[in-house]
Amino acid sequence: MAAFGAVIEPTADGLRVVSDSLHPPRMPIDARNSGTTLRLLAGVAALLDGSTTLSGDASLQKRPMGPLLEALTSLGARGSSVSGDGRPPIEVEGVLRGGRVSLSGSISSQFLSSLLIACPLAANPSEIRVLPPRRSEPYVEVTRQMVRAFGVEIVVDEDAYLVPGGRTYHPTDVDIPGDFSSAAFPLVAAAITCGDVTVEGLDLGSPQGDRRIAQLLELFGARVDLVEDRMRVRSGDLTGQTVDVSNTPDLFPILAVLATQANGETRFVNGDHLRVKESDRIASTVAMLRALGARAEPTPDGCVVHGPASLHGAFIDARADHRVLMAAAIAGLAADDSVDISDPWCFRVSYPSFLDDMRALGALHAVVE
């Protein structure tokens, strides 16, 4: 964001952002392993008069961008893939005008979120129609809530989002809520190790889809207590379930680990979009479980896990996927020997304090080399 012209200063309890005049960056933007950064900034770049190049690491360069690039082009900007395959690096040139566009909802909600953030600043209104199946819709509601906080209301009319044009965002103060996606890892750790973990700083009324971790842990049989801004989880008699992950793809790897310690069969369904995350998350999660000694089979839209399993030490290839790495680390707490994991620092992309938190909870032998 600094490369786009924003001034960001740390304060005693957060960040102060001033962005009176944004401009295309002078150098390409390296989003590293963050699909969210790449996709949201593509929308920002489409508002600016000039060209912006955005790229990322080898993993990010495998992730699809075509539907978003096509939508930006239909709305008056120009978006293209440098290699022509619809994947990063990409070039985006403004200026976004608004209009009507249809967008696939089956790959990533981040495409829609990018448009919902950018389109209010286009000269004309926009109508964005989302084609089924629509995945990860709670993330879109998080975006609408944030846009509303900055003074713009986006109306939902069945399968279309009606975005006013010619608007200006009004500066405001924002409290960033705790992240249920990250909280899931220590909470599942408690459920599979006879532990007792409380996570604070959560907004139990948040539209975050991964807030469902509380309900899912209860369904599996863990003991869950919700009080104000905190969630406490203790172990219980775990039983396999059928879990629809269409709106909670980030929970899939850690729920699969939970399933290894549950009695009976757990089936994960409606997760075909898991194949275009930081890794093919179905393949990488199943490979991780099998390496640890669990019985798991991939399916076209998820996997089947048979439990309970006696997990053993192993080497896990995280495939540069932060959620697979963290899920494998939690599984290691229930294994009979050490678990070694590749790409040891990739957890930083979403949960920088993960290692410190795990050590504080008793994972005393967590070591990164």
Q: Which long-range contacts (CB under 8 A, 24 or more apart) does 356-362 make?
A: 357/186, 358/186, 358/189, 358/329, 361/186, 361/189, 361/195, 361/197, 362/195
Residues whose CB is less than 8 angstroms from the CB of residue 10 and which lie 6 or more positions away in sequence, other chains included: 16
Task: Give the catalytic positions in this structure.
Answer: 250
DSSP summary character for residue 89: S
Q: Which of 283, 284, 285 is nearest to 259 (CA)?
A: 285
Residue 201 to residue 176: CA distance in whole angstroms:
10
The residue behind tokens 């981040």 is 110
**Strands (E) located in 47-98:** 51-55, 78-81, 90-93
Amino acid at 294: A
As given in the structure block, the two tokens for residue 293 are: 């000694």
